[in-house]
Copies of this chain bind each other. A is one copy, B any other.
């Protein structure tokens, strides 16, 4: 039982417990959730597919399934608001939505005010520019993008706050499962842009949350 809890991914005091669901069975997830729930904490399960989520919810009917984000959350006590401002998640195409949603669910479980600006891509720059106020109002921006990964550079050039770039594995051919986007982001010519692993919406949200805390 205890061996299953991913201590290496434990966050800090006052945060929810997090379970990385990807390679775990329904039974394993349930056993870990039970152990963690007994301590009274809130719980966030990431990378859990539809089928597993439905099965786990039979044991924990009060858990909430965020289908697009592939997450499950169990709130045993209200999430305490923390953070000095808003974290804005910006995404381009429809296929980037799961990663953006993972970031949003994580941000909210960590007590942040979080907004989503979607359907804004570099090849239609006016849609992004039309949302300038939302950009300027943010304390941290998370930019989720696949394909050529150019969006964080444009956003970083507009805003004055930290930008966390999340490459996604969206694309085909020479996108190489997100490598093209990752390299684009690492080479960003805008100041203040840092990068996390491909598809790691969770990690971006944790970093943004630390930046945003009071």
Contact = CB atoms under 8 A, between A and B. Distances in A.
A55 to B, nearest CB: 19
Interface of A: 2-12, 22-24, 28, 92-95, 118-119, 121-125, 127, 129, 147-150, 153-154, 156-158, 160-162, 164, 167, 169-200, 203-204, 206-207, 210-211
B147 A150 contact: no
A178 B173 contact: yes
Nearest to A174: B186
A181 to B, nearest CB: 8
Most chain B beta-carbon contacts within 10 A, residue among A3, A11, A93, A156: A93
A169 B160 contact: no
Most chain B beta-carbon contacts within 10 A, residue among A28, A180, A187, A200: A187
Contact of A121 (B24, B127, B189, B199): B189
28 contacts: A7-B124, A8-B122, A8-B157, A10-B124, A12-B160, A22-B172, A23-B94, A23-B170, A24-B94, A93-B189, A121-B157, A123-B157, A125-B125, A125-B129, A147-B187, A149-B150, A149-B187, A162-B210, A172-B198, A172-B199, A174-B198, A175-B183, A186-B195, A191-B203, A191-B207, A192-B207, A193-B203, A194-B203
A7 B153 contact: no
A188 B3 contact: no
Contact of A93 (B6, B118, B124): B6
A112 to B, nearest CB: 14
Contacts of A160: 12, 210
Given A173-B186, A173-B197, A180-B184, 19 more contacts: A4-B94, A8-B92, A8-B122, A8-B189, A93-B189, A122-B150, A122-B189, A123-B191, A125-B157, A148-B183, A154-B154, A164-B194, A171-B187, A172-B200, A174-B186, A180-B187, A181-B187, A191-B206, A193-B207
